[in-house]
Amino acid sequence: MPALRKKTPKRRIITKIVGCYREHRENLREDFDKRCGYCNAPDFFRSTHYEIDHFIPKKTLKEIFPLVNNYKIKEQEYSNLVYACKLCNNAKGDKWPTNNIKIHHKNNVGFIDPCNPKYDKQFVRNQYGEIISKTKLGKWMYSTLRFWRPEHSIIWHLDKLKQSISEIEKIMAEKTSVEKERLEKMHYSFLTDYHKYHTQLMEY
């Protein structure tokens, strides 16, 4: 089965103090390769629905750092921010089972930072693009992040089709007219499937 994603995202070391953590959006979008840190969905299907998740939730940070100034510093900490689609951000919410900012998970319950290579060992995709958990901790995260939702496989198909359409258009521009006829049929088929999955996505 293919991996959940091709590469593990890596945050740059950014220590600049900003007025609001949302000012980090474009840096996060770049560091996460324009994809959700949790499910790997590209943001070009739902760009307006992509948000900034606090890996250690704001609620937990407020409990540990009750002083306003201390909390604001922690709220903006770049190393704790994740570029996330609305589905994953809403599903994760303010959940933090360990209640300890130094312990991310315990007894196979909790989270792994998506910038940690260990995150990639928790999940794979099946032939239909559905996310499958590989470990007990992965199973907990799968359920909590609602990876069972059909949108995840639909977006996976759209992503694959978009790549195929782009590749075949490049080839069509270089081939002879005889070859173009066959390629145009393939191109039409890909576009038809793309439209079908896009219509399904809009239903959710």
Q: Identify whether residues 95 and 126 lie together within a single domain.
A: yes
Query: At residue 85, does pLDDT exceed 80?
Result: yes
Per-residue tokens: 2: 């293919």
Q: Identify whether residues 100 and 174 lie together within a single domain.
A: no
User: What is the arithmetic mean of pLDDT over 108-121?
Assistant: 98
- Domain finish residue from 112, 132, 148: 148
Query: At residue 47, does pLDDT exceed 60?
Result: no
DSSP E strand stretches across the chain: 50-54, 81-85, 105-106, 109-110, 123-125, 131-133
Q: Which residues pair with 152 in a beta bridge?
A: none
Q: Identify whether residues 40 and 118 lie together within a single domain.
A: yes
Q: Which residues pair with 106 in a beta bridge?
A: 109
> Residue 19: what pLDDT?
87
> Residue 185: what pLDDT?
83
> Residue 48: what pLDDT?
63
Neighbours of 200 (CB within 10 A): 15
Q: Identify whether residues 109 and 163 lie together within a single domain.
A: no
d(CA 171, CA 122): 37
> Residue 183: what pLDDT?
83
> Residue 21: what pLDDT?
95
- Please check whether residue 5 is in contact with residue 40, taking contact to mean a CB–CB distance below 8 angstroms: yes
Domain extent at residue 32 = 21-148
Per-residue tokens: 167: 């590749």
Q: Is the pTM of this model over 0.85?
A: yes
